Amino acid sequence: MEERFFEVAHLADRGVLYLLLVLSVVSLGLIVERFLFLNRLSQSAKRFQNDVQDLLAHADFKSLLDLKAKSGALEARAVDLGIQTIRDSSGKGIRESFDTFILLEKPKLERSLGFLATVGANAPYIGLFGTVLGIMKAFRDLGAGSEAGQGAVMAGISGALIATAAGLMVAIPAVLAFNYFQKQVRQIVSGIEATRELSVIVNERGGASGG
């Protein structure tokens, strides 16, 4: 039974490194994809926010529609929904329409972030598991034959520590990327919320003027 356990442990020791390699490749791909996606949205949002404030302040909905058609920002789509609400229900429910839009779009912004968070939290433990298995194997080899002596044990332990280092190398970029992308998502959502509040104010002023 003990022999069987160590055979499995030896295979698992190798398997941990392959697993960390796969996680590293997948994480890197997701980081690149999220960076390009969120960075594009952030840049579009900044350009749209700079242009939309004056148009909303003057209730220039015609120019706003033209701007919306040219922009790929999420705020543009949210404003489109708000304008439709103003037209269809005289501005009632505009805040709710923006909130619904945020609820629908936020999961798309946060896609893959859960995976990065999981990798960042657990990769060090996976690496540590591989290290423990490697150390077990090193001491077992020492007990099986004393010819190699201390050198064999130290070589086995140093090899086992590679798994811990690999786990940290996978986890650190995942954690950094997760935190960075979370900040970007918050900024994008804050931009939509700011546009929502400005739209509500403009609509209320328009209603007061019309009254």
Min mean pLDDT across 120-124, 182-186, 195-199 is at 195-199
Asked if pLDDT for residue 137 goes beyond 80, the answer is no
Residue 210: pLDDT band (50, 70, 90) is very low
Is the pLDDT higher at 104 or at 14?
A: 104
Q: What is the pLDDT of residues 123-136, one digit of tens each?
A: 999 999 888 888 87
How many Å from the N-terminal Cα to the C-terminal Cα in the chain?
87
Is the pLDDT higher at 150 or at 21?
A: 21
Q: What is the pLDDT of residues 22-53, one digit of tens each?
A: 999 999 999 999 999 998 888 877 776 666 66
Q: What is the pLDDT of residues 61-117, one digit of tens each?
A: 555 556 555 556 677 777 777 767 766 666 677 788 888 888 988 999 999 999 999
Q: What would you measure as the largest C-alpha separation in the chain, in angstroms?
A: 98
Look up residue 74 and give its two tokens: 């999420």
Residue that has been written with the tokens 């543009």 in this structure: 76
Quickly count: other Cβ atoms within 10 Å of residue 188's Cβ: 22
Asked if pLDDT for residue 21 goes beyond 80, the answer is yes
Work out whether the CA dihedral 54, 59, 60, 65 comes out positive or negative: positive
Q: What is the pLDDT of residues 159-191, one digit of tens each?
A: 778 889 999 999 999 999 999 999 999 988 888
Quickly count: other Cβ atoms within 10 Å of residue 132's Cβ: 17
Contacting residues for 72 by C-beta, under 8 A, at least 6 apart: 40, 41, 44
Burial readout 35-67 (b: 16 or more C-beta within 10 A, e: otherwise) = eebbeebeebbeebbebbeebbeeeebeebeeb
pTM of this structure: 0.78
Q: How far apart are CA 83 and CA 2, in angstroms?
A: 72
**Nearest Cα to 45, choosing from 194, 202, 207, 200?**
194
Coil/strand/helix, residue 179? helix
Coil/strand/helix, residue 92? coil
Which 8-state DSSP code applies to residue 111? T
